[in-house]
């Protein structure tokens, strides 16, 4: 991965801000599918998803992971629109429909969420490194942060996309081979695996209520609908047809990750009932439940996924500072080389912020749901409204974003009263604001066309 980053850092690959952000809009279909998959499947799946499967069982994991394929299906139907719009950032897309103030608030929310998501990639990388070296998880997180930052700073999307492609091949191969080895090995077959699961893990609820299960499904679904990483990768496609085809490939390949994670995570609960749930799959590889070569593939692939996912969110978050900040308000147009320089400096600053934030959250799963919910609740409704609801207004979009964020953060700070995930409270509030305020206000010229001139 370091060598790939160094290769794509050469000037012939990254000579301008556009090359850095969109890889020259020349990503071929297989690489595009790989980078969509690897960007989405980071420590949130390998660690957070394994935690859920370990704790609640394989059947309940269907609800945890359901947000991913459902979100990808929705993304499939708007992929052509995304490629045709070809915007640098999601806030830029919102400005064209709802005006400048909407763009600024959306950029702030995106930056807040993406710093959090980057932070738990650092934490996840630290877990992997602590299993295969004498380093502690905290020390491993430092090394993971350095690797993530290097890939993002060096070659931009070109280095990130190609390392995504390679890491996707490695982790899929490792996980798929690991299933029969674990189930047929120490567990003694599929029948013993099923009978050895705790009673609650044999149910579709996993001991959770319907409301709690929905609280795990919605954050992933909402995030993928408006994920700036997805939009930027589809924009980097060669054409609109490639963008849609890559989304279909992303949908199919996602099952090659989430199904093994659900099975292996729950298998780890039987074999190792007293470990940290975050390390469920990683411990199968490091504690010799898999042959050394396969265990090594799983650990290498997991670390690669964590690093490339972190690089993607780091790169994307920096684009909000560059394009929604510097480029948008600069009195003179920024040259390609100057934008490239600013982008790289911004990546370094955000990486440092993410590392500091990651020290305050005890588990990856907690940080994952917090960051996903803030972004998904605040931005998914206005983004979809920008595409599909002509009656939506600037006031409706603004109130949706502001109250969605405030309610999410407030509910989390209160400790999720009643055990209800914040998305179940903040999403209805955000939707009510978007619909209600939009119907009570009239669209203005600024809200309809405010960003067109600047975007052009």
In terms of C-beta density within 10 A (0-12 exposed, 13-18 middle, 19 or more buried), how is residue 274 classed?
exposed
Supply the pLDDT for residue 10.
62
Domains of the chain: 2-373 (1.20.1730.10)
Supply the pLDDT for residue 234.
85
Q: b/e map of 8-23 (b: 16 or more CB within 10 Å)?
A: bbeeebbebbbbbbbb
Supply the pLDDT for residue 451.
41
Residue pLDDT, tens place only, 57-91: 999 999 999 989 999 999 898 888 888 877 888 99
Which ranges of the chain have pLDDT less than 70? 8-25, 42-43, 155-156, 334-337, 360-371, 444-456
Q: Which two tokens stand for residue 304?
A: 């690669």
Output the furthest CA–CA distance in the chain (Å, rounded).
69
CA distances from 366 to 109, 117, 414 (A): 18, 11, 14
What is the DSSP secondary structure assignment for residue 27, as one 8-state letter?
Answer: B
**Positive/negative CA dihedral, 299, 301, 302, 307:** positive
CA distances from 400 to 66, 110, 198, 385, 421 (A): 25, 14, 42, 11, 18
Supply the pLDDT for residue 454.
36
The answer, as to whether pTM is greater than 0.75, is yes
CA distances from 295 to 271, 292, 300, 306 (A): 16, 5, 8, 16
Supply the pLDDT for residue 449.
43
Supply the pLDDT for residue 335.
65
């Amino acid at each position: 991965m370091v060598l790939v980053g160094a290769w794509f850092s050469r000037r012939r690959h990254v000579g301008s801000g556009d090359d850095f952000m969109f890889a020259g809009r020349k990503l071929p279909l297989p690489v595009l599918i790989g980078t969509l998959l690897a960007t989405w499947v980071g420590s949130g799946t390998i660690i957070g998803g394994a935690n859920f499967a370990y704790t609640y069982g394989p059947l309940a994991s269907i609800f945890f992971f359901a947000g991913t394929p459902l979100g990808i299906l929705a993304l499939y139907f708007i992929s052509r629109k995304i490629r045709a719009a070809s915007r640098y950032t999601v806030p830029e897309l919102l400005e064209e429909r709802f005006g400048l103030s909407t763009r600024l608030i959306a950029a702030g929310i995106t930056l807040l969420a993406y710093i959090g998501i980057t932070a738990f990639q650092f934490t996840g990388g630290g877990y992997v490194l602590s299993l295969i070296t004498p380093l502690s998880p905290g020390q491993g997180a430092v090394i993971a942060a350095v690797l993530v930052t290097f890939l993002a700073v060096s070659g931009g999307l070109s280095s990130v996309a190609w390392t995504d492609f390679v890491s996707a091949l490695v982790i899929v191969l490792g996980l798929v081979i690991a299933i029969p080895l674990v189930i047929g090995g120490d567990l003694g077959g599929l029948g013993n695996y099923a009978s050895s699961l705790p009673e609650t893990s044999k149910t579709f609820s996993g001991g959770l209520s319907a409301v709690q299960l929905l609280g795990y499904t919605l954050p992933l679904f909402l995030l993928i609908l408006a994920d700036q990483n997805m939009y930027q990768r589809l924009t980097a496609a060669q054409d609109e047809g490639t963008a849609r085809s890559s989304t279909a490939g992303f949908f199919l390949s996602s099952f090659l990750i989430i199904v093994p994670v659900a099975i292996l995570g729950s298998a780890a609960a039987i074999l190792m009932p007293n470990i940290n749930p975050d390390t469920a799959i990683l411990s199968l590889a490091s504690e010799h439940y898999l042959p050394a070569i396969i265990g090594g593939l799983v650990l290498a692939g997991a670390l690669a996924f964590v690093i490339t996912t972190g690089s993607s969110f780091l790169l994307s978050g920096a684009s909000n500072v560059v394009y929604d900040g510097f480029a948008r308000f600069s009195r003179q147009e920024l040259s390609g080389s100057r934008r490239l320089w600013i982008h790289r400096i911004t990546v370094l600053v955000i990486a440092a912020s993410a590392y500091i934030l990651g020290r305050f959250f005890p588990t990856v799963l907690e940080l994952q749901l917090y960051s996903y919910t803030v972004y998904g609740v605040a931005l998914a409704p206005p983004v979809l409204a920008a595409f599909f609801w002509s009656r939506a207004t600037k006031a409706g979009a603004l109130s949706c974003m502001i109250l969605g964020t405030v309610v999410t953060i407030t509910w989390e700070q209160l400790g999720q009263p009643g055990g209800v995930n914040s998305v179940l409270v903040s999403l209805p509030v955000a939707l009510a604001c978007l619909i209600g305020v939009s119907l009570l206000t009239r669209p203005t010229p600024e809200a309809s066309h405010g960003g067109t001139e600047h975007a052009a």
